Amino acid sequence: MRFGGNYQGSSFSELLEVDYAHFRPDMSRISEADRRALSIPHGTTVLAFKYAEGVVMAGDRLATEGHRVASRDIQKVYATDGHSMVAIAGAAGPAIEMARILRVELEHYEKIEGEPLELEGKANKLSQMIRQNLPMAMQGLVVVPLFAGYDLRRHAGRLWKYDVTGGRYEETEFEATGSGGLFASESLKKAYAPELSRADAVKIAIEALTDAADQDRATGGVDVERGIFPIVGCCSRSGIANATDSEIREVYQDIMARRRSASGVTS
Amino acid sequence: MSMPFYVSPEQVMADKAEYARKGIARGKSSVTLEYEGGILLMAENPSTLSKIGEIYDRVAFAGVGKFSEFDQLRKVGVRYADVKGYSYSREDVRAKALANAYSQAVGDVFTNQMKPLEVEMLVAEVGDDNLAGHEKNAIYRVQFDGSISDHEGFCVIGGAAEELHSYLASEYRPGIPLGEAARLGRNALQRASDGEPRMAPENLEVCQLERRRPGRKFNRLTTDQLRELFGE
């Protein structure tokens, strides 16, 4: 370990670039054909929306390699600090790494500067990290996360979506991304209302993931047999709390019971 | 008047040491105490510029002497810890390795540069009961010439270190509760600043490494929390 390098600023990702360039291999020389030969796990559906106390972020747990299941219990929703979260979709390797670096980045800034970044500053930093990933994205290793958190200065939940070039768009209600993102969005559009209670928020999050899993074969949804449940993080003024597995199981069973009775199926 | 052509290495080192000691003695001292639930770091500091800082999950830093110099060292420590935790695991970031790196860096400057660093530093690590082999606290002191020592129970850095050490040696008991540790630390700092009666909480900087806090164990106490702690 080297002690003291050339970098003098307060960003961790820049520190890595300046003083530890060997940590980030140059993937731009890998051709599209090479990349196709590699089978790389992809994460699928994540979503975020506002509710009365802040913002909810949720994601299923499935990762796929082509038509194959790569992992049934991958984590796609990460707390980046006490009041912000990132949800990842796309190439799992670089996406998880980005979430990890973002977490260190926010903590690093806070320690060096003595105070945390503003929520908007955090969202902007993620935008730069996605832009840096553009050469890899051009090789097919696309990372398109969602970022959400509770803004302690404005007393409100806020959320952002990104495009592959690092474009950053703040959303006022809800957003979903990944292979099942379209179906989750459609589901949220029907169920979303401003000022939802926490219980209702968890319910529509699970319903949206269930709808996405129904239409998109790469999305996991709720796996009751294996006991694998989506991660639903609720971020409010008091911090981040994930919905418990038993709460999600109950909500899911209610949804399925309602759908069975609506279609006249008795079980 | 003739210029001296030769100065003995002993003389050079003694001069540098005297220069550094004087610089450090101009500033205030800092006290660190182990208490029942962790480690308490205290410094007399009426300004908003911090002398105590978080390095990593279980590791904290305290510096005395020239602010610009020890604050630079604190930042180097944060970078070192974050890169280490990122490339290995969070549990691999330990106070001993960091204190050794500080000792090398400060000792290097002392031997090779004209001007020694006018700083003294402390690196503290709180134990974690859930990590086998990492349960014990650790406190290291690094001096201006790079000399390093480890301490149990309490440690003082700064100009009044020796005087306060003998005071704490007679007053300190292992496993004291937080409030008592805070009062003892304040008494020590008062002695260092010519017995100034009742040092106000506004003039104190106090941070904890809390053994039972999940995740990042560093916590900075506000003036209100301090008042409550002192029972005022």
- What would the pLDDT profile of B15-60 be if each residue is shown by its tens digit? 999 999 999 999 899 999 999 999 999 999 999 999 999 999 999 9
Helix, strand or coil, per DSSP, at residue B200: coil
- What would the pLDDT profile of B124-169 be if each residue is shown by its tens digit? 999 999 999 999 999 999 999 999 999 999 999 998 888 899 999 9
Kindly indicate whether the ipTM for this predicted assembly is greater than 0.85, answering yes or no: yes
- Please name each of the domains of chain A with its CATH number: 12-21+40-260 (3.60.20.10)
**A108: nearest CB among B82, B101, B216:** B82
User: What pLDDT was estimated at residue A57?
Assistant: 98
* Model pTM above 0.90: yes
- What would the pLDDT profile of A150-179 be if each residue is shown by its tens digit? 999 999 999 999 999 999 999 999 999 999
Residues of A known to be catalytic = 44
Whether B86 and A104 lie within 8 Å, measured CB to CB = yes
> Between A and B, how many CB-CB pairs are < 8 A?
47
Whether B105 and A104 lie within 8 Å, measured CB to CB = no
Q: How many Å lie between the alpha carbon of A69 and the closest alpha carbon of chain B?
A: 28
Average pLDDT over residues A132-141: 81
Given a cut of 90, whether residue B231 has pLDDT beyond it is no
Given a cut of 90, whether residue B123 has pLDDT beyond it is yes
Q: How many Å lie between the alpha carbon of B103 and the closest alpha carbon of chain A?
A: 11
Cα A119 from Cα A131, distance rounded (Å): 19
- Please name each of the domains of chain B with its CATH number: 28-230 (3.60.20.10)
Given a cut of 70, whether residue A259 has pLDDT beyond it is yes
Whether A112 and B75 lie within 8 Å, measured CB to CB = yes
- What would the pLDDT profile of A53-74 be if each residue is shown by its tens digit? 999 999 999 999 888 899 999 9
